Amino acid sequence: METPAPDRTQEVYDVLKYIIDPEIGVNIVDLGLVYDVTITDQEIHVEMTLTTPGCPMSNTITMATEQILLRKFPHRQVTVELVWTPAWTPERISAEGLEQL
């Protein structure tokens, strides 16, 4: 297992900023939905949540996350894990996200 380069992780976050929550109109990173990113030479693992359990967007957002990362990093396997703990709260929105609201 190689140690990921820190700028690679940042690159993943930058790419995920292109995914906009369709209802709120703010990207999923600034909304605080992305909890953790792990990247190696073989794979990318994203741990994320949604604003509410039962959200009908669960398929759409996880699929979009997977697709956009595959386009940017075509030689890595991408897995997106949706979790409910810790529960998302509006306090997780970044300063940039709050400005966009």
Partner 1 sequence: MATASISNSPSKWVVLPHYAFAAGAFLVLSILLLFSTNAFGGHYFHPKLLTLTHVAVLGWATMVIFGALYQLLPVVLDCKLYSEKLAFYTFGLLGVGTILLAYSFWNFSLGLVLHVAACCLLAAFVLFNINVIQTARKAPKWTIEADFIVTSAIWLLLTGFVGLLMAINFTNPFLPQDHVRYLQLHAHMGMAGWFLLLIIGVGSKLIPMFLLAHPEDTRKLNWSYNLINGGLVFFIFDHLFFRSPLTPLYAALVVGGLVLFLLFLHDAKVLGHRKDMDLGMKQTFLALALLIVPIVLVFLVSTDLGLPQQVLSSLYLVYGLSIFLGFISALILGQTFKTLPFIVWMHVYEDHVGRYKTPLPKDLFNTHLLRWQNISYLLGFLLLVVGVLWRVEAVILAGSIAFCLAAILYTINVFHLLVHKAQHLTPFVYGNARA
DSSP state of 20: B
DSSP state of 27: B
What is the C-alpha separation between 9 and 3, in angstroms, rounded? 11
Q: Interface mask (CB under 8 A) for partner 1, residues 50-89, using x and -?
A: xxxxxxxxxxxx-xxxxxx--xx--------xxxxx---x
Is residue 24 within the footprint of partner 1 (CB under 8 A)? yes
What is the C-alpha separation between 60 and 65, in angstroms, rounded? 9
Q: Which stretch binds partner 1 (CB under 8 A): 1-9, 10-18, 37-45?
A: 10-18
> Which of 44, 37, 84 minimizes the C-alpha distance to 67?
44
Is residue 18 within the footprint of partner 1 (CB under 8 A)? yes
Q: Which residue ranges make up the site for partner 1 (CB under 8 A)?
A: 14-15, 17-20, 22-25, 27, 49-61, 63-68, 71-72, 81-85, 89-90, 93, 98, 101
